[in-house]
Amino acid sequence: MTKRVREILSYYDSENAGVRSNLARMLNHGKLAGTGKFVILPVDQGFEHGPARSFAVNPPAYDPRYHFQLAIDAGCNAYAAPLGFLEAGAPEYAGEIPLILKLNNHDVLNDEKDPAPAVTASVKDALRLGCAAVGLTIYPGSSAAKTMYQEAREIGAEAKAHGLALVMWSYPRGSSISKQGETAIDVVAYAAQIAAQLGANIIKVKPPTAFIEQPEAKKAYESNKVTLEPLSARIKHVIQSAFDGRRIVIFSGGPKESDEQLINDIRQIHAGGGFGSIIGRNSFQRPKPAAIELLGKIMDIYRS
């Protein structure tokens, strides 16, 4: 085990041996093994956004097995998906890549202003499928946030008691936050802090913009001269907000964009001390050879 992996595991001394072993399992898998960096393939978009919006651009991606093979061929640290997708491929690909079972999900058929995900799988399902971790989404800013926080702590405690690591998608959203505010630096940093306080081992947030949503936060940033440009400075601040870098924070890839723009963002995340990326649509919405090439370039940046 590398010095860097041991250092990261030391951030989680309060966790049991099972959780730490599963964190090590992901940190030591794939092309970034031993570097302390992550590239994870998440495919919850079929549930979250709908099948045509997610897979029509690349029809082979309708098949759950496609994503297992993509994650394996690309050398990802782990593959994350809801129950159905994992059940459809876990027996065939058993032991080939660490799995993260997404335990709650939200759909856009009723695209309410204050979203609340439904619990769609269990810790027992994750154990049955041989997963290394479970994943949960919380929506700070939603009127249902308090219920989500309580569910996250209860489910997280159960998962950890069985040795599974906890990955938290912390996505600010709701009637009390503007659309621009969902990726505001103060809001994203706050979301990372909330996930860390709830016990997340790995935190997933969106790359933040320089916009500041909260008036009181704006005063704090200005009076303390917090640097918000370039993106790498904002990444550094988000990492700082998650226990001063003592929690793993990875950043989403978002909607499909050009290779050049995505690569530029990855360079900024790396320069800011981000632990890696979780790249979904920018992976599986490309033909597999192009996706593997792009993910390889991303991994090269994180390895540098």
User: Which positions are catalytic?
Assistant: 204
- Helices 231-241 and 259-271 meet at what angle, rounded to 10? 50
- Give the other-Cβ count within 10 Å of 216's Cβ: 8
Please state, in angstroms and rounded to a whole number, the distance separating the CA atoms of residues 87 and 55: 19
Please state, in angstroms and rounded to a whole number, the distance separating the CA atoms of residues 261 and 266: 9
Please state, in angstroms and rounded to a whole number, the distance separating the CA atoms of residues 205 and 43: 16
> Coil, strand, or helix at residue 142?
coil
Please state, in angstroms and rounded to a whole number, the distance separating the CA atoms of residues 285 and 71: 13
Full DSSP string of 225-249:
T----SHHHHHHHHHHHTTTTTSEE
